[in-house]
A and B are shown apart, each in its own frame.
Chain A
Amino acid sequence: MIIKFKRFTGSSLIEVMLAAAVVSIAIIGGVSYRYYSSLDGRRANIHATTARVALMLCESWGGTNGSLTYDPVVHLDSDSLTITADDGPEAPADFTTLSSHKLIVSNVTCYATLSFKDIDTGLRALNVRVAWQRRDQSDKGLSDMDSVFELSSYVY
């Protein structure tokens, strides 16, 4: 009687490579998902902050009934919200620029322009445009801002 033992050959190179590729794709996919979730969360946070800045500028200006002497530096500047006169995004067509400012709040830097348009006797449209940078929050100036949020309000 002849007893034969099956020879154990192990895994081939192709099998090992395929297994490594599958594991790599799974790991990279998982890490990417979390990375982009964090990034999008941060971007959403910045977006919400700048939107609130625009709303505050719009409402405080509206509270003065659209006064042309309204100055956010005088009215709103504080320790937690730094406002200085600076360049700002371009005002909409047919609107007259009132002032432009640089604002820093919660480590977010943005640039705002306030403009207005007299539509009819006593009716004035107020516009606030806020520009910020989505990718990097280091302050590199207005030219690097890549996103704009805009609000309009009417006072009579």
Chain B
Amino acid sequence: MPKQRFNLKTGLTTIELMVASAIGIMIFAGVTVLLVDSQRGWNRMYSRLYSDVVTDSFIVRKAFDSIVRKSASAYSSIDDDGSWLEVCYYADEFSVAPDLYARFYESDGDFNIEYGTLNPKETTGVQTICSNVVDCVFKKVGTSAQMILTTEEGSQQITTITSAVMHN
């Protein structure tokens, strides 16, 4: 008759199982908190760089810069409270005097640029550059113009400051 030998298999006791489970849960909870916090930080950083208010800020700055730099300072005007700025510029190289204008202003939380002709003074269009504006102030110092624009989206608030010198 064949002889059979079996090793004794004892398994885990309840205490061992409980201790192992507790340690496992603690490690799992720690790693989870770490990863969640890390993910939250990453999302915050990402939105700080690529959210709508950030890209809007970039576009507004470029629009202001490109128009103001080609305008004539002698023909520009600004509101006493700095709520709007109007600059005049040449349509092309054959213009002997500025014949177009652009007016920067904020209305109902939108940042707008109004375009038009000077003679006769007619509005040809209004372009909304960005929304969520909470504060917008224009300044004019000598031949330069400044814009200080604050936009807000959710908990993120960005203040865009830009300055440009008019060409004459």
Task: Pick the most buried of A2, A35, A55, A60: most chain B CB atoms within 10 A of its CB.
Answer: A60
Q: Does A11 contact B (CB under 8 A)?
A: no
Q: Kindly state the interface size class of chain B when it binds its partner.
A: 35 or more
**Is the pair B5, A3 in contact by a Cβ cutoff of 8 Å?**
yes
With both chains docked as a complex, state the minimum distance between the C-beta of B80 and any C-beta of chain A, in angstroms: 14
Q: Does B150 contact A (CB under 8 A)?
A: yes
Q: Looking at the complex, which one of B34, B41, B144 makes contact with A63 (CB distance below 8 Å)? A: B144
**Is the pair B48, A60 in contact by a Cβ cutoff of 8 Å?**
no
Contact pattern, B 151-168, Cβ under 8 Å of A = 1, otherwise 0: 000000111011111100
Report B-chain residues with C-beta under 8 Å of the C-beta of A65: 142-143
A60 to B166, CA, bound (A): 11
A105 to B112, CA, bound (A): 23
Q: Which of A22-54 contact B (CB under 8 A)?
A: 27, 30-31, 34-35, 37-38, 41-42, 45, 52-53
Which of B98-106, B113-121, B133-141 lies at the interface with chain A?
Answer: B133-141
**Is the pair B142, A56 in contact by a Cβ cutoff of 8 Å?**
no
Q: How many residues of A contact B (CB 8 A)?
A: 37
**Is the pair A2, B2 in contact by a Cβ cutoff of 8 Å?**
yes
With both chains docked as a complex, state the minimum distance between the C-beta of B114 and any C-beta of chain A, in angstroms: 23
A51 to B143, CA, bound (A): 21
Q: Does B6 contact A (CB under 8 A)?
A: yes
Q: Does B148 contact A (CB under 8 A)?
A: yes
**Is the pair A42, B45 in contact by a Cβ cutoff of 8 Å?**
yes
Q: Does A19 contact B (CB under 8 A)?
A: no
**Is the pair B45, A38 in contact by a Cβ cutoff of 8 Å?**
yes
Task: Find the B residue at minimum CB distance from A28.
Answer: B34
With A7-B7, A31-B38, A38-B41 in contact, do A59 and B163 touch (Cβ < 8 Å)?
Answer: yes
Which of A76-84, A92-100, A130-138, A139-147 lies at the interface with chain B?
Answer: A76-84
Q: Does A1 contact B (CB under 8 A)?
A: yes
**Is the pair B162, A56 in contact by a Cβ cutoff of 8 Å?**
yes
With A3-B2, A4-B5, A80-B159 in contact, do A27 and B34 touch (Cβ < 8 Å)?
Answer: yes
Contact pattern, A 63-92, Cβ under 8 Å of B = 1, otherwise 0: 111010010000110111100000000000
